[in-house]
Structure 1
Amino acid sequence: MPERTLAEVFGANSSQTATDLVIKKSDLTSVGLTASANNTAESLLIAVALKAQVTLTDEARDTNIDQSVAITDGFSPTITTRNNTIYLRNTISVEVDKLLTGANVIDPDDY
C-alpha cells in the first residue's frame, strides 16, 4: 500500500505547500472538536492526534509496509493529583518505526 495521504490522516480539506500545512477545523469535529476562533493550542493538538489515530492504527501499520507511524491508546485512564486537585489522565501513544541504523533519534524526515 502507498504512503497515507494528507486527506486520510488529517481530513478531506487538508493541504500543504512548501511552507504551509493546512488542517481545517471542520475536519476535526468528527473527533469532538468544537471549532471556534478561540480553540486552545492543546485542544487543537489533541484533535489532530485523535483524527490521525483513526487512520494510523496498529493494524493498518501491520498490513502496510509504507506506514511507519501508529497512534494508539496508552495506559489509561489513571488518576493523578496536581496542586492538590485530582485529575483523570488519559494517554495516547505515538509509535514510530524506522530501520535500525544505530541512531536513536526521532527525525520527522525519516517518516
Structure 2
Amino acid sequence: MKLLKKLLIGIVVVLVLVIIGGYTFLRTSFPRVSDAPDITVEITYERLERGEYLAHHVSLCMDCHGTRDWNLMTGPPVPGSEGLGGERFGPETGFPGNFYSRNITPAGVGNWT
C-alpha cells in the first residue's frame, strides 16, 4: 500500500512538473508581439514601377505565378498571364507531387500584404 501511494505521488509530481515546464517553455519561447499596425501606403507611379521591376526582374515572381510557354527556349511567361497563377509544378520538375502556383494579382489576394 505504501509503495502504491509513493508511486501515485511520484506520478502526480512528474505530471505537475511536466505541465509547469511546458507552460514555461511556451511562455518564454515565443515572442510577445502586438497586433500589426494598420498602415496605408500611398500608391504612386514610382512605387508601381519599382514593384513591377522587382516582380519581373529581381524576385522573378511572374516566372512561376504566370503561365509559361515551354515550347519556346527557357519557357518565358505568356504575355498577359503575369501573376494569374495556375502553373503546374510536378515530379518532373522536382516537386513531390503536384503544386499549382497561386494567383497573386490584386483580384487573387485582395488586400493581403
Please indicate, yes or no, whether the TM-score normalized by the shorter chain is above 0.5. no
| Higher strand proportion | 1
TM-score, length of structure 2 as denominator length: 0.25
Flag the structure with larger Rg.
Answer: 2
**Which protein is richer in helix relative to its size?**
2
TM score, norm. by length of structure 1 = 0.26
